[in-house]
A = this chain, B = another copy of it.
Amino acid sequence: MTRLRMGMVGGGPGSFIGPVHRIAAELDREIELVAGAFSSDPARSRVAGDSYRIDGARAYPDLETMLREEAARSDGIDFVAVTTPNFHHLPAVRAALAVGIPVICDKPATATLAEAEEMAGLVRDAGLPFALTYTYSGYPLAREARARVAAGAIGAVRKVVVEYPQGWLAGEASGKQAEWRVDPSRAGAGGCIADIGVHAFHLAEFVTGLRVTRIMADLGTVVPGRLLDDDCQILLRFENGARGALLASQISVGERNGLRIRIYGDVGGLDWKQECPNVLVLHHIGGRTELIQAGDAALGTEAALASRTPGGHPEGYLEAFANIYRDFARQLRGEPGSLAPGIEEGVRGMRLIDLAVRASAENCGWIDFPK
């Protein structure tokens, strides 16, 4: 059984997410990184190729070259992984799809809603596998939460609290990771909302299986001199009438990566925290509370499949990310069962950014979120 061959776009020296994509892709040995256009600077691309220990000849100076030369090989790449800053997603996806190469792309989909809609059209027309790495939906117990909600464990969903506090941008934004995220020309119209707010939004829709239909938004730019939002408070209404709140922040000093979702139905409640990802709390009305843990015999199929070790052997972020890649590999092989987010979820995320930025600026109270 050969492995699927991946070509990376982005992920050059200093990148956080490039190496993460590489590890995640290869974790289950279904995929192998073989090529990359890691940087727009050819020399840096070669350095990155060395650091990934791939064949030096396959560290290309740009995406176009990679697509062309890999197409000429019998063992050329089967797909590309786009790990560049947001503004570069659309051209990369467009180029790959144009030559029949499937794409897995980092989130958010693009820099603007218009770009996302264009991307949706391209994906639709190409008819090729496409996935978006909303990582957190790859955690086994986030998937278990989704399965439990779907199975009625908490009854009809009434209330969702999803929060995502971080503190790393509370001061000056310095370093490669920080700088492009606070630069509208590279990040797009959203700062915190685009970087992490969309993760929280996707997780809420993923776990509940419900779509948001209205929002009331309050985005703020807290750090002096910053150009994009760094703190978001958004009230939600879901298609079934359920109420919700989404709090995301990058100025919450001391918070690392505190994504958490709580969902309350008419007969139960669920609570899951990304930083302690192997436990899911399930409350039953009347007072009984259970801890559902990774590795438990009672886990549903999807959560069980998404784990690699027995209970008590913690899996984390890289393994969750690998689950998205495993799903994408399923798509590439034409197998069913993928839970990986696609372009539709990508467009919804971009719509959230677009609406929240506008609604917040206009203080317009509730506004509709097209279904």
> Across the interface, which residues of B come within 8 angstroms of A29, CB to CB?
22, 26, 33, 52-53
**Count of chain A residues with Cβ under 8 Å from any Cβ of B?**
92
Cβ A256 vs Cβ B167 within 8 A: no
Partner of A245, one of B27, B247, B262, B267: B247
A266-B170, A290-B290 given; A253·B285 CB < 8 A = yes
Q: Is the CB of B243 within 8 A of A245?
A: no
Given A53-B29, A311-B257, A365-B365, A167:B285 Cβ within 8 A = yes
- A19 to B319 Cα, complex, angstroms: 14
Contacts of A216 in B (CB 8 A): 216, 218, 235, 365
> When each residue 280-298 of chain A gets 1 if its CB lies under 8 Å from chain B and 0 otherwise, what string results?
0111111111110101111
Q: From A313, which residue of chain B is reached at the shortest CB distance?
A: B317
A240 CB, min distance to chain B CBs, angstroms: 12
Q: Is the CB of B269 within 8 A of A254?
A: yes
Complex: how many Å from CA A256 to CA B50? 40
Closest to A1 in B: B53
Q: Give bound CA distance, A319 to B165, whole Å.
A: 25
* Residue A249, interface by CB 8 Å: yes
B289 touches A293 (CB 8 A): yes
A310 at the A/B interface (Cβ < 8 Å)?
A: yes
The docked-state distance in angstroms from the alpha carbon of A286 to that of B296 is 8
The listed residue with most B CB atoms (<10 A of its CB), out of A28, A264, A266, is: A264
User: Which of B20, B28, B161, B287 is within 8 Å of A297, CB to CB?
Assistant: B287
A291 with B289: CB separation less than 8 A: yes
Q: Are B159 and A249 in contact (CB under 8 A)?
A: yes
Contacts of A265 in B (CB 8 A): 253
The residue from B264, B285, B287 contacting A311, defined by CB atoms under 8 A apart: B287
Contact A20–B288 (Cβ < 8 Å): no
A339 at the interface (CB under 8 A from B): no
Q: How far is the CB of A335 from chain B (nearest CB, A)?
A: 16
Q: Does A2 contact B (CB under 8 A)?
A: yes
Which interface residue of A220, A254, A275 has the most chain B CB atoms within 10 A? A254
Contact yes or no, A287 B276, CB < 8 A: no
Our pick among B52, B264, B293 for the contact of A252 (Cβ within 8 Å) is: B264
Cross-chain contact A222 with B158 (CB below 8 angstroms): yes
Q: List 30 A-B contacts (CB under 8 A).
A: A1-B50, A26-B26, A27-B27, A29-B52, A158-B251, A159-B222, A159-B231, A161-B163, A166-B312, A218-B235, A231-B243, A252-B264, A253-B265, A253-B268, A253-B285, A254-B282, A257-B310, A257-B311, A257-B313, A275-B278, A275-B312, A276-B314, A288-B296, A290-B291, A291-B291, A309-B318, A314-B317, A315-B316, A363-B366, A364-B365
